[in-house]
Every structure is written in structure tokens, then in C-alpha cells.
Chain A
């Protein structure tokens, strides 16, 4: 199975480079998709709404990618026995990194006193995630292309860590639809997390979904002495005993950076469009004494305006009688 590049290389939805041949799909999928009847993952209200706006479901489409997964990741400098203390703090160009220096006048780095620390982005983790997400996306879109769909609605994606196997599975699922009465699909199908009335409302208000977009940002924190002392509540000879209430600058900045980076990754793939219904999930893995890996994922549907805004009839406030 060939692994196409991550979707952030370009406009994934329009990029003809992603519409690889159906040779990539397992045999079973071909038989199912070639069948007489359609299957759809839509709920009944979503199915009804879908017919209502002239979308005909043609099949349930899906894509997978199973990746070997360790949080170190390929290309990580500490896989080669390095850490920022030994590689001199030079991060790859163009990525977020910040260094912190000991204010106590220490000269020698030791585990008892870390004279400096660093926050930096981990592009190798981010690109591995993008590859897994991107491959499952591309495969789902391939299935949709094969059934001649215009688009894929109600996309659900999930990432699952398979127990005791050290592998992570990316799975994407959606319902391929044909726009009735429209010309043959001009290119790769469009995709959206939305379905049903929400999709109808979006279209009615002048937005057309382009593609689902997601990104992961990963920031590693190597604590320096100040962060460590504050986080561990250690009474330090260097810190002068009593420690007042104070902001842990290094960590505040790292948390903000991870989230902002995830947003900027997604933004870089939006062109002039809008990301609708963003879902943001941040996780912090604490390693030791202020050392952390902060990961943030952000996903949503990229939508494009196709007509001027025309407000819907104002909503009527109601009270339910039950």
C-alpha cells in the first residue's frame, strides 16, 4: 500500500496527485462498492435531510492507516542519544523553540541544577501524525472517487492505540453522496464532518464544504532550574528558600505555543476559506520534574463562501411545554 504524502502539502481536496488509482483498495471494498445497493452511515434524520437537499447516498466509504507509534518518533534527535543539553539547543529552522537560562549564576549543568532548558516543537511527531491521518483520508476519498461521488458527508475519524502492540490506527469513515442533477464530479470529492440539517443550514447560508482538515502540534518542554523548582515545590539553595506565588513562564508559553501551532498548521491549509466547527483537544504528558510533552489536535471542516450572506429568517425563541 503506497503512502501518499500528508494532506498539508497543498490543497488536499483539489490536488489531483491524491486521486491515486483504485489499486490501493482491498478486494473486499471493490466488491462492496460495486454492489447494487448503497449503504450509509447516516442516521434517519440525517438521511432525510440529505434527500431533502438533493444528495443521494451511494456508499459508506472508509480509509485506514496503521502506524507504528512511539512518542519519540522518527527523526527525533534524542533517538540518537541526544538531548538539548548535548546538541547545543539548535532546533531545526523554521520551528518554534525557546531557550531559558539559569538566573542563579550556575556554570555547570547537572541533574541537581539544570542551568538551562528549552521548549521546542517536534516536527517529526507532527509529520508522522499527518501521514497517518492523511493516508486514511486519501484512501477514504479514493473509495468515494471509485463510486463516482461528488462528496463525502458525515465524516467520522478516530485514532486508536491498539493495546500492547505499540501501534496506532487512524480510521476515517463517511457517506459518499452524489449531487442529483449536477455535472459529473469535477475532481476529487469534497468532504465534511457535517451531515443532515446542519449541512443544509450551512449551504443555505452560503457556505460549501471543501474538505475536513486536521492537524497535530507537539511541543517538548525541557525544564530548567526555575521551572523545576516551581513545579516541584523544592526548597532550593539557589532560589533562596521561600518561593512566592509566581507564573511558571516556560510552561505557560509552551501550552500557548502548542495550541497556537495547531491553529497555524490548520490555517496554512485554509487559503482564504473558513474553518467551521473546530474541535480542539490538548493533552499533556508529564515526564519528570516539569519535563512535558504537550500535544494539541485541531480538526474541523474547511468551508468556502459561494454567495453573499443572506440571513436566514430570524430564529423564533421558544419554550418547551413538557
Chain B
């Protein structure tokens, strides 16, 4: 905190107390803006300021939601990939992203940042919820296509400064049946340390297929890369013999001629992680 500021920045420092008085007095007066439509945003102050620093602003909180059915019977034993489950998944994400994009375009946004992705797979349906804030350049014209990104406004700003831009949500899902072990095999393996090769293969296949679907969706958008990929995997709670794998991230593309380097400074912070005060530890 006590590190010396740049010469210019220190000289410009505003008198915060005077600003506060001016701000408080302003509430009794008519609004400064002649804007007619209210803005809503779920960005933090920092994020809003960062967006402003690159000439962008928030427009509106936007939503996308979709519920897609999974045909009955797909979770019962079988082999290979459970395609109708991954189809349902893809349809739900695409449809929710479409709603999100429509709401964004409806308020003249250029894209949606900080999208929170909520995905829930049930036996008979997949629920997808997307929530984010539509943003646009302050002086920008409307665009035909809007981007959807789960990157925070902060990440968006940093990427923008480096010459990159998000295109859309890349998404992939894959579900496979865990192979059945015959009674004989189970008995034989019960006292041994052996690799369960068919399980390894099943998990491997699920991952590969999920990632492949995600990459395919990014390539279809014309992306050069996918950043901040998040994955979730594991057996389905309602059908433990079925293993699900989902992966999503933001597809990005270099907008500028070449990558712009940020050249960060090095700091040594003296903060600890916040210590929760606990008056009573109850057991």
C-alpha cells in the first residue's frame, strides 16, 4: 500500500472528501444523466471500472434457461457412449445460450460476460441456467452476432488489452456406461492389485469424447483457442454405472494484428487470507 505511485497519478489524486460531499448533495438535485432506460448489472465496482477503462459499459443482466428431456431407458445397461444424453446436453446448452444471446441483442449488447453456468443432469432431463451481464462499447454500433462468455469482466478486460476477444461458450459432454465385470472376473480380481483396464478405458473414452465435442464446438465458431476450461466428471448419482464428463470454456480469437504484451509489475503483498472470527465453536 505504501509503494510510491507514479508521479502523474499522485498529482491527479482527487479530494475524495469533497467528491463525497458533492455526491451526497447531488441526490437532492435532478438526475445528471439524460438516459431514459435503467441499467442493471451484476458486475462488481472493480469490474465495472475495468470495463470502463477499455471504453465498455454494462447494459443489462440477461438470462438463458433450458430444460431438455432425456428419453426413458437410456441409463439402463449398455455399452459405449450414451449419445442421447450428450445430445440432450448439447441441445440444452445451445438453447439456453441462444436465449441469453437474444436477451443481449434485445438491449443492444455486443456480448455477455461473467456468465454463470448452472448445469444439472437428472435421470429424465438436463437443466441449464445461464446468468450474465450484457456489455457493449460506449460508442459502439449494434452487431449482428453477440458473444457469450463465462470469463469475468476482469478477464475480459485483460484479454481485450492483450488483443484477444471471446466468441462463445465452447461446450462438450459425454456419457458412457462403465463396463460390467463378470462374476468370475470380480472373484479373480478381488485379492489382486491389478489395473481394471476396461474401467480405465471407459473413463478415457468419456474424457476424450467430451473434450472432442468441446473442441468441435469451438472450431465451428472459428476460435483459435479455448481458455479457462472447467471440467466435471464422475458417476451419475441416479445411475452409478454411468459415467458423465462435461467440459466447458470460452472460445477466443485474436482480434488485433498480434498479441499485445501486458508486462506486469511485481508486488509483494502483506495480506493474509481473511480469517473468519468464530465466537463459538459448536459441536
Contacts and interface: CB of A to CB of B under 8 A. Distances in A.
Interface stretch (B23-31, B197-205, B229-237, B250-258): B23-31
A67 interface: no
B206 interface: no
Contact of A208 (B26, B41, B125, B267): B26
B38 A263 contact: no
Contacts, number: 227
Interface stretch (B42-50, B141-149, B169-177, B217-225): B42-50
B208 interface: no
Contacts of B263: 317
Interface string A286-322: 0000000000001010001111110111111111111
Contacts of A200: 16
Contacts of B20: 53-55, 179, 203
- Give me the 6 closest cross-chain CB pairs, A-B, nearest first: A54-B17, A270-B38, A233-B72, A255-B65, A230-B69, A306-B26
Interface residues on B, range: 35 or more
Given A190-B27, A272-B35, A275-B38, A312 B53 contact: yes
A275 B24 contact: no
A135 interface: no
B67 A247 contact: yes
A182 B25 contact: yes
A263 B106 CA distance: 15
A244 interface: yes
B152 interface: no
Secondary structure at the B interface, as helix, strand, loop or mixed, is mixed
A187 interface: yes
A217 B82 CA distance: 37
A210 to B, nearest CB: 7
Nearest to B71: A243
Interface stretch (B84-92, B184-192, B239-247): B84-92
B265 A315 contact: no
Nearest to B16: A53
A201 to B, nearest CB: 5
B63 A317 contact: no
Contacts of B67: 231, 247-248, 251-252, 255
B79 interface: no
Given A277-B45, A282-B129, A313-B12, 15 more contacts: A54-B20, A231-B69, A233-B123, A255-B66, A255-B129, A263-B60, A270-B39, A272-B38, A275-B41, A277-B41, A298-B61, A304-B32, A313-B8, A313-B9, A321-B268
B64 A256 contact: yes
A186 interface: yes
B52 interface: yes
Given A182-B25, A252-B66, A274-B41, A201 B49 contact: yes
A101 interface: no
A322 B268 CA distance: 7
A204 B65 CA distance: 37
A278 B116 CA distance: 13
A232 interface: yes
A113 interface: no
Nearest to B14: A204
A79 interface: no
A53 B17 contact: yes
B28 A186 contact: yes
A316 B265 contact: yes
Nearest to A321: B268
A202 B14 CA distance: 13
A75 B264 CA distance: 60
Contact of B72 (A234, A248, A304): A234
A33 to B, nearest CB: 21
A35 B8 CA distance: 45
Contacts of A233: 69-73, 123-124
B5 to A, nearest CB: 8
A318 B266 contact: yes
B23 A208 contact: yes
A270 B71 CA distance: 44
A214 interface: no
B57 to A, nearest CB: 9
Nearest to A312: B49
Contacts of A300: 40-42
Nearest to A150: B24
A161 interface: no
Nearest to B96: A252
A103 to B, nearest CB: 15
A181 interface: yes
Contacts of B103: 260
B21 interface: yes
